[in-house]
Amino acid sequence: MALLRVNNLKTYFQISAGIVKAVDDVSFVLNNGESMGLVGESGCGKTTTALSINKLLPQEGKIVSGEIFLEERNILKLNDSEIKKIRWNDISMIFQGAMNALNPVMKIGDQIAEAIILHKKVSYKEAIEKSEELFKLVELEPKRISNYPHEFSGGMKQRAMIAMALACDPKLIIADEPTTALDVMVQAQILNLLDKLRKEVNMGLILISHNLSILGETCDKIAVMYAGKIVELGNVEDIYDNNMHPYTNQLLSSFPNIHKEKKIPEPIDGIPPDLINPPSGCRFHPRCLYAENICKEKEPEMIKINENHDYCCHFGGIFNE
């Protein structure tokens, strides 16, 4: 059964310069126990999608239309107190930059216990015991729950954040660039840990990153986002080997592949478009190597190759010819 269904989600930001269409018509399905990667450049709407899912958008942000179903419930129709119950209990988050996601003047154990006490009817003592168990789970010494955040290293803080995300046995974890500020060794450890825990407790995972190679290792499927839209969605194999969208293709060739021939990675020229006045037609056309007139005029539709693989381009797979 589908754990999370997002249908035609549109999230816009009202700022003084105009309306920023940060997420524009995004749809995807995440099944129970499945992990999905969300990849794209900075400012293409990955984090906004994630924040929309548990309605944590800043004041300027509004979900204009669409539906988000968590199992049977439409999250967008819930009121404030109902959504507060869902947060962390059903959907928890691991934030960008764990360094800053912990309150510096509170013991880490107390911060985890706080999350547990908010949602479960347990005493402080039981919550602390649970925090110790969680610390064991993420391979931290249980005694260290009485430390303050500054006494932890970056990797340890991220582990503590994962422990906190698991505190209420959520059905879905959204990890927003969980490894961004960490070195490569620790990145691998954190990702392996996330993957292991996810399989153990059978929960859904949305992993947001701008690094496709990270997603390839941990995810079942990948959604590639560009300028507020999903341009290609498919299983990891589809995205890596049978990608159809020029953006996916260029994203993949912009970093070295150790299994293929040696060549200098090609960057994608240009910058992501202004989302207040996005380009007409296909939003990628100003940077696309294969763009034709039709790309400027007509917005391409989602094309389904098979059950799991969709893409959104007039000339899908043109780069293979």
Q: Which stretch binds other proteins (CB under 8 A): 97-105, 122-130, 132-140, 201-209?
A: 97-105
List C-alpha distances in Å: 69 to 24, 55, 139: 18, 13, 33
Size of the site for other proteins (CB under 8 A): 29
Distance CA(289)–CA(157), nearest Å, equals 42
x/- letters, 25..64, toward other proteins (CB under 8 A)? -----------------------------x-x--------
Beta carbons within 8 Å of 285's beta carbon, 6+ residues apart: 279, 291, 295, 296
Asked if residue 104 binds other proteins (CB under 8 A), the reply is: yes
Asked if residue 279 binds other proteins (CB under 8 A), the reply is: no
Q: Which stretch binds other proteins (CB under 8 A): 84-92, 187-195, 205-213, 244-252?
A: 84-92
Asked if residue 97 binds other proteins (CB under 8 A), the reply is: yes
**In the complex with other proteins, which residue's Cβ is closer, 68 or 236?**
68
Candidate residues 7, 147, 189, 235; the one interacting with other proteins per rule CB under 8 A: 147
Asked if residue 142 binds other proteins (CB under 8 A), the reply is: no
Q: How many CB atoms lie within 10 A of CB 217?
A: 12
Shortest distance, CB of residue 71 to other proteins, whole angstroms?
Answer: 18
Distance CA(84)–CA(61), nearest Å, equals 18
Distance CA(257)–CA(233), nearest Å, equals 21
CA count, 13 A, side-chain hemisphere, 23: 27
Q: How long is the chain?
A: 321
**By the criterion CB under 8 A, which residues form the site for other proteins?**
54, 56, 84-89, 92-93, 95-97, 100-106, 114-115, 118-119, 143-144, 146-147, 151
